[in-house]
Amino acid sequence: MAGHSKWANIQHRKNRQDERKGRAFGKLIKEITVAAKLGGEDISTNPRLRLAIEKAKEANLPKDKVKDAVNRGCGLLQGITYEEITYEGYGAGGVAFLINCLTDNRSRTVAEIRHAFSKHKGNLGTEGSVSYLFDHCCQFFLNESKDKEEELLELLIEKGISEVKPLQDVGIELLGDADAYTDIKETLLNSGYTIEFSEVVMLAKVPISVTDEDLANIEKLKNALESLDDVQSVFTNVDIDIGGT
């Protein structure tokens, strides 16, 4: 994977997210519904719902659809009941995959995921087979110079930030508690920073390297999984993350 920089990869991930916004309404509605069901309709006490609604706004999901999804989750409207499932497996080169799903038909979902793995030189694993390789956290990228590292750490240390890392090529990466995503984002924006890219992720504890041939198969598998209606997000432990939601 020579020639790739982390900053270039960030831009690639951002562009892929932008491309998917137009066809993501169904997945956003599912996430809002489940978040409201699990934590209630008050975004001040339900960070998952707050993040889901924020993503819906970024994707221009109509307000009435957001409201209906919240009401369905709270039981005020009838609708489909979704089950939250995480599947685990391995792709080419031994790369670990975590696939987060919301489904109303577990049998359909696992069959589609197993088919994607089989088609692209991977194997669907058992529960716990790869999840221990990841940490649940929030991630931000800022196009700032390295001398901002101390200033950012001081600004965010009480907001749940755990690491401020200047990148080798350009910019700064921030890592923090997943539940602190909204507080960290608001603090950055209110302090005048521009966020190039941000998300809540399952981040590999020890990323691994793969050959270009394996990377090509990993990309195909990741794209195939992300195209499935029941799949909400896909994470890998390849050393340069080829995607993210």
Tens digit of each residue's pLDDT, the chain (245 residues): 444 466 666 666 666 655 555 558 899 999 999 999 999 999 989 989 999 999 899 889 999 999 999 999 999 988 888 999 999 999 999 999 999 999 999 999 999 999 999 999 999 999 999 999 999 999 999 998 888 889 999 999 989 899 999 887 778 999 999 989 989 999 999 999 999 989 999 999 999 999 999 999 999 999 999 999 999 999 999 986 444 43
What is the rounded CA–CA span in Å between residue 227 and residue 105? Answer: 17
The domain boundary, picked from 25, 50, 73, lies at 73
Strands (E), 125-207: 134-142, 161-166, 172-177, 195-204
For the chain, how many structural domains are there in total? 3
Q: Is residue 120 part of a domain?
A: yes
Query: Does one domain contain both 119 and 159?
Result: no
Q: Is residue 242 part of a domain?
A: no
Query: Does one domain contain both 124 and 214?
Result: yes
Q: Is residue 20 part of a domain?
A: yes
The pTM of the whole model exceeds 0.85: no
What is the rounded CA–CA span in Å between residue 231 and residue 245? Answer: 10
The domain boundary, picked from 26, 44, 73, lies at 73
Q: Is residue 78 part of a domain?
A: no
What range defines the domain where residue 101 resides? 83-132+207-236
